[in-house]
Structures are given as C-alpha cells and as structure tokens.
C-alpha cells in the first residue's frame, strides 16, 4: 500500500531539504541582482543552453540550504516522537552530506528541466507543467540514492504530491513578490 500516513511521513522527512532549496532559491535572484549564469550566456543550436535563470549563486545557495536544513533535521532526530507511531517508521537519519546531495540534486535536476525547456523553445520563466515540479524532485532523489536506500513507495508518493505542494508554495511566493510568476 503506497498511500499510507507512514510512507508520507517518511517521504516528507527525506525530501524537506529539497523542498526548502526549491522554495528558497528564487531569493538569490531578488531585485534583479546580477548573478552569474552557469551557461555563461552560451547558446546551443541558436537557443540558450540553460538560460539566465540558472546561476552559480543559485547552485551554491542550493547546496548551502540542503546542508543547513539536513543539519537541523539531524539535530531534531533524537527528539522525534517515534513512540506515537503504531508501526516502526523508516525515518532516514539526516546528516550534512546527505543534505548536500539532496540540495545539489535538486539544483541539477532543475537545470536538466531548464535545459529541456530551452530545447523546445520555452524562454526563461515560461511554464512547463509537471516538468517544472518533478525535475528538482527526481534530481534530488537520484543524488540521495547514492548514499541511502530509497523506497519506491516514497518516490511514487512524492511524484504525486509534489506538483500540488509546489503549486501552493509558488502561489504564496508570487503573492509575497518573491517569484515573478505564480507557478
Ligand atoms: N535561480 C538561480 N539559479 C538556479 C536556480 C534558480 O539563480 N540554479 C533563481 C533565478 O533567479 C530564477 C529563480 O531562482 O529565475 C526561479 O527559479 P526557476 O523557476 O527554476 O527558474 P526560471 O526563472 O523559471 O527559469 P526556467 O524557465 O529555466 O525554469
Ligand atoms: Mg520557473
């Protein structure tokens, strides 16, 4: 059974650093700051490789946030109320290197998404339903899988709930004028 509260708790615990990265990364581009595009403005067959929305500042920030949030989870781990769960939960013990992989994976996955968007001719910031929401998630899970065992149930659940959570968070970010588009 994929849709259990236990799977949901386990999956969300694991992916919190990636969600934080994806949610906070627009902060590096606030107020039109001149950041450094990873593709250096270079083109591939007449279109930007990644576009100006993928910057080194964003990549470093993603790594930092991943490590930071994973460290907070690591410190919180001993205080989790495991005893309220009727079944033994597979709560992944967090540590900074795992946070780095979750954060870096989220940024790299997001870059792959942008690369694909540019190939089909979508400009920076254009909406790409599902791709925009699954790219960072799959990148993050892939990178984390080099360090830990990831249950397929978590992947299925996260693939389903992430677009919903992403949309809600993006609308909030838009209303707070952190994001330029409400998606
Ligand atoms: N950002 C960044 N570096 C990254 C990822 C994101 O600087 N590696 C910042 C940019 O300011 C970007 C914003 O976060 O505009 C929002 O990220 P995202 O929605 O992923 O980028 P878009 O601007 O929508 O560009 P794309 O169409 O390529 O997804
Ligand atoms: Mg976008």
The pTM score is 0.94
Residue 166: pLDDT over 90: no
Residue 150 has φ and ψ, to the nearest 5°, of -110, 125
Distance 26 CA to ligand 1 centre (A): 6
Q: Is the CB of 52 under 6 A from ligand 1?
A: no
- How confident is the model at residue 116, as a pLDDT? 98
Residue 41: pLDDT over 70: yes
Nearest Cα residue to atom 24 of ligand 1: 125
- How confident is the model at residue 183, as a pLDDT? 67
- How confident is the model at residue 173, as a pLDDT? 81
Distance 45 CA to ligand 1 centre (A): 21
Average pLDDT of 52-77?
98
Q: Is the CB of 134 under 6 A from ligand 1?
A: no
In this prediction, residue 76 has a pLDDT band, given cuts at 50, 70 and 90, of very high
In this prediction, residue 31 has a pLDDT band, given cuts at 50, 70 and 90, of confident
Residue 26: pLDDT over 70: yes
Average pLDDT of 102-121?
98
Give the 3-state DSSP-derived string for the chain, with helices as H, strands as E and coil as C. Answer: CCCCHHHHHHHHHHHHHHHHHHHHHHHHHHHHCCCCECCCCCEECCEECCCCCCEHHHHHHHHHHHHHHHHHHHHHHHHCCHHHCCCCCCCCCCCHHHHHHHHHHHHHHHHHHHHHHHHCCCCCCCCCCCHHHHHHHHHHHHHHCCCCCCCHHHHHHHHHHHHHHHHHHHHHHHHCCCCCCCC
Average pLDDT of 113-118?
98
Tokens 């979750």 locate to 102
Nearest Cα residue to atom 2 of ligand 1: 58
User: Is 155 within 8 Å of 168 (Cβ atoms)?
Assistant: no
Nearest Cα residue to atom 5 of ligand 1: 54
Distance 24 CA to ligand 2 centre (A): 12
Average pLDDT of 150-168?
94
Average pLDDT of 142-163?
98
Report the percent of the chain where pLDDT is more than 70: 99
Neighbours of 127 (CB within 10 A): 11
Average pLDDT of 63-74?
98
Sign, CA dihedral 105-142-178-115, equals positive
- How confident is the model at residue 95, as a pLDDT? 98
Average pLDDT of 121-134?
95
Tokens 């690591």 locate to 74
In this prediction, residue 1 has a pLDDT band, given cuts at 50, 70 and 90, of confident
- Retrieve residue 104's tokens: 């870096």
């Amino acid at each position: 059974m994929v849709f259990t509260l236990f799977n949901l708790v386990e999956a969300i615990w694991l992916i919190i650093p990636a969600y934080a990265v994806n949610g906070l990364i627009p902060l590096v581009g606030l107020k039109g700051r001149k950041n450094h595009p990873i593709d250096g403005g270079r083109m591939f067959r007449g279109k930007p490789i990644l576009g100006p929305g993928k910057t080194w500042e964003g990549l470093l920030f993603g790594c930092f946030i991943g490590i930071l949030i994973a460290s907070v989870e690591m410190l919180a781990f001993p205080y989790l109320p495991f005893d309220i769960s009727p079944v033994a939960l597979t709560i992944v013990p967090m540590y900074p290197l795992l946070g780095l992989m979750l954060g870096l994976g989220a940024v790299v996955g997001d870059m792959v998404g942008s690369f694909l968007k540019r190939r089909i001719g979508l400009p920076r910031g254009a909406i790409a339903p599902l791709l925009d929401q699954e790219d960072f998630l799959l990148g993050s899970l892939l990178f984390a899988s080099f360090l830990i065992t990831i249950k397929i149930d978590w992947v299925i659940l996260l693939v389903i709930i992430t677009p919903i959570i992403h949309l809600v968070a993006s609308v909030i970010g838009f209303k707070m004028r952190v994001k330029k588009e409400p998606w």
